[in-house]
Amino acid sequence: MSLAVDVQRLRYRYGRGPWVLDIPELTLERGTRAFLFGPSGSGKTTLLGVLAGVLKPEEGEVKVLGRDLATLSGAQRDAFRAEHIGYVFQMFNLIPYLSVLDNITLPARMNAARRARLDGVGVKEAAALLADHLHIGDLLKKPVTELSVGQQQRVAACRALIGAPELIVADEPTSSLDFDRREAFLELLFQECERAGATLVFVSHDRTLEGMFSRRISLPDINRGAL
């Protein structure tokens, strides 16, 4: 049971189209910091959608934290994602009509298991603590529209991390940052994943960052399908 991700013979396609994903095997140990790279159109975002349980694989097994998402219903996958997965987008991560604090606390308010893992502190305190760790503690009351891109990505990271989900999925979260900020952002993200014991799946087409990860996976190498 030490595998965070165990994908076997996964096949996925949109509608009746060609196979976008055709992955014989992909396994990640718990606690891995995985760097998943490949050119645009190699199926990176689609794979993350499958791992997060938003997209249902047509064939194969997708075991995340021991649960096979392919056998779960849509509602079960939504609940699973709410409880176990934190997700960071490339950009525009935040809901514009919520404050920074409300954006961060959203998963904890949505899911009781995430609330239960806050180590006894309140939702707001937990959010403030995370925000401090990511150096955005002074932004909590601000409307998200006033934040810089780098600040927005840190807020998104806080939201993914709150309530200590076991799997953090990040879809090119640094591509809109300049290089120095990328490294700083990654350091903070690693630090928090480690603190929470979370597995990180980090997708990028920018290989300059790969040295910082414990495992590097080239998607074109493992995926026989492609657009």
Partner 1 sequence: MLVLDLALKSLRNRAFSTSLTVGSIALSVALLVGVENVRVGMRESFSNTISQTDLIVGTKGGTIQLLLYSVFGMGSPTNNLSWDTYREWAEHPAVDWTIPYGLGDSHMGYRVIGTSEDFYRHYRYRGGQEITLAEGRAGSEVFDVTLGADVAAELGYGLGDEVAVTHGIGEVGFLNHDRMPFTVVGILDKTFTPVDRAVYVTLEGIEAIHIGWEDGAPPMPGEEHAREDVLAMEEIEITQVTSFFVGTANRRDVLRLQREINDYEGEPMMAVIPGLALNEMWQGIGYAETGLRLVTIFVVLVGLLGMLVSLYTSLNERRREMAILRAVGAGPGSIVTLLVLEAVCLAAAGALAGLGLVYALLSVGQPIVEAQVGLFIPIRPPGSVEWLFLGAVVTAGFLIGFVPALKAYRTALHDGLAVRV
Among 1, 17, 75, 120, binds partner 1 (CB under 8 A): 75
Both tokens assigned to 85:
């997965």
Judged by CB under 8 A, does residue 17 bind partner 1?
A: no
Q: Please return the burial class of 17, using the count of CB atoms within 10 Å of its CB with bins 0-12, 13-18 and 19+.
A: exposed
Please identify, among the stretches 24-32, 61-69, 77-85, 134-142, the one whose residues bind partner 1 according to the rule CB under 8 A: 77-85
Judged by CB under 8 A, does residue 176 bind partner 1?
A: no
First-to-final CA distance of the chain: 33
Q: Which of residues 30-59 bind partner 1 (CB under 8 A)?
A: 45-46, 48-49, 52, 54-55
Please give the angle made by the CA atoms of 194, 199 and 203, to the nearest 5 degrees: 115
Judged by CB under 8 A, does residue 175 bind partner 1?
A: no
Please identify, among the stretches 3-11, 16-24, 99-107, 206-214, the one whose residues bind partner 1 according to the rule CB under 8 A: 99-107
Give the dihedral of Cα atoms 32, 37, 43, 49; nearest 10 deg: 30
Q: Which of residues 146-165 bind partner 1 (CB under 8 A)?
A: 159
Could you tell me the CA-to-CA distances from 173 to 141, 160, 185 in Å, in that order? 23, 12, 9
Please identify, among the stretches 34-42, 91-99, 128-136, 206-214, the one whose residues bind partner 1 according to the rule CB under 8 A: 91-99
Q: In sequence order, which ranges of 89-170 are alpha helices (DSSP H)?
A: 100-110, 112-116, 123-133, 149-161
Both tokens assigned to 216:
């590097």
> What's the chain's Rg over C-alpha atoms?
17
Contact 66, 96 (CB under 8 A): no
Contact 3, 29 (CB under 8 A): yes
> Measured from the CB of residue 211, what is the shortest distance to partner 1 in angstroms?
27
The partner residues of 201 in beta bridges, in order of sequence, read 34, 169
> Measured from the CB of residue 92, what is the shortest distance to partner 1 in angstroms?
5
> Measured from the CB of residue 118, what is the shortest distance to partner 1 in angstroms?
16
Please identify, among the stretches 94-102, 123-131, 180-188, 219-227, the one whose residues bind partner 1 according to the rule CB under 8 A: 94-102
> Measured from the CB of residue 111, what is the shortest distance to partner 1 in angstroms?
6
Judged by CB under 8 A, does residue 110 bind partner 1?
A: yes
Judged by CB under 8 A, does residue 168 bind partner 1?
A: no
- List of residues contacting partner 1 (CB under 8 A): 45-46, 48-49, 52, 54-55, 74-75, 78-79, 81-83, 85, 87, 89-98, 102, 106-107, 109-111, 159, 171
